[in-house]
Amino acid sequence: MLRPPLLIDPDEVEISAIRAQGAGGQNVNKVSSAVHLRYDIPASSLPADVKERLLALRDSRITQEGVLVLKAQQHRTQEMNRADALARLQAVVDSVATPPRVRRATKPTYGSKQRRLEGKSQRSQTKSLRGRVQD
């Protein structure tokens, strides 16, 4: 089942401008170029199975309420940070868009069992030669 790429509705994304952290000289203290992106997963228009997999991610950026919070402050302009945050949000959603493949248990082949036992017997013989020398 091939699903078309999931598009995130811009109306569901809450973006606010904040001041960036770290070094940057005089510019960093005056300009709000960093971006805080909040995406409410349970209230989004994503399919239910994708929401479930998103909420199951062990990601520290997802709050207890199911809100994904991204902070983008890599670039110097707010527009570039906004685009970076949206691209990262899309990447997170795309990472869970396709369901994981179901693993079916298989049995080892006869040949692989024989090779394993042969290796064990060789190792056993090597170790048995390490004992005391008997006359």
Chain segment 6-19, per-residue pLDDT in tens? 888 888 899 999 88
Q: How many residues does the chain have?
A: 135
Report pLDDT for 133: 80
Q: Are 97 and 50 in contact (CB under 8 A)?
A: yes
Q: What percent of the chain has pLDDT over 70?
A: 93
Domains of the chain, by residue range, sit at 10-95
Is the per-residue pLDDT at 94 higher than 70? yes
Is the per-residue pLDDT at 108 higher than 90? yes
Is the per-residue pLDDT at 5 higher than 60? yes
Radius of gyration of the chain (CA): 27
Model confidence, pTM: 0.71
pLDDT tens per residue across span 23-64? 766 766 777 888 999 999 999 889 999 999 999 988 899 999
Is the per-residue pLDDT at 68 higher than 90? yes
Report pLDDT for 90: 93
pLDDT range class, residue 115, cuts 50, 70, 90: very high
Domain at 10-95: CATH code: 3.30.160.20
Report pLDDT for 21: 81
Quote the mean pLDDT of the chain. Answer: 89
Report pLDDT for 24: 66
